[in-house]
Amino acid sequence: MFADYTVMKKTHKIKHHTSKELVGRLECIIGLKPKKILVVNLDVEAFELLQKKFPSAVLYKVDTIKEIAKLISNKKVDVIIYNLSDFKIDAEMLINRLKANGVLLFAVFVGENYDKKKQVQNQIKDLEMHDLGDLLLRIGLINPVVDQEYVYNRCVVYGYGRGRLKNSVPTFVESYF
């Protein structure tokens, strides 16, 4: 029981760190004035910072990808912030919710954290930072950027992409995973 609490506390610290990092990265985008922002799995403090930074935007907050369909149905959003959820399952749905010139920011755990005995939730086995960059290009995001950092000894990859090329069709997920 104590081990579960320790893991939960560490996961919460990582989520808090990556949440603040994603909001900070969004603030660095010059001229961004979103009207609708979809936030997946962002902690409360970072969500409040986001509300202060973009007070005129409508924020849709969900903790799981399944909630998106119920919350925004077929609406498109200007910004998606996606924190430590299962990107390999959710990528296509997320991209289809993004407006043509929208911004996608995300943080995911990657393969270096993988332990076959203890599969850590929300990580992508055998996928590296460059694979995610290739994936963002393939789905048609313009000028994607990925980088990684270690947060409490866990490898986290951050990604950014803006807009989609006009004729891009997201038929990509299965070939990468």
Whole-structure pTM value: 0.78
CATH code at 116? 3.40.50.150
pLDDT digits (tens, 9 = 90+) for 90-127: 666 777 788 888 898 888 876 554 444 344 444 445 56
The CA distance from 76 to 16, in Å, is 27
pLDDT digits (tens, 9 = 90+) for 32-67: 899 999 998 888 999 999 999 999 999 998 887 777
CA distances from 54 to 39, 78, 135, 159, 173 (A): 13, 12, 29, 21, 32
The CA distance from 162 to 145, in Å, is 10
pLDDT at 28 over 60: yes
pLDDT digits (tens, 9 = 90+) for 153-170: 777 888 888 876 555 544
Enclosing domain of residue 25: 2-176
Domain count, the chain: 1
Chain centroid to Cα 118, Å, comes to 23
- Please, what is the Cα angle at 73 between 82 and 158, to 5 degrees? 10
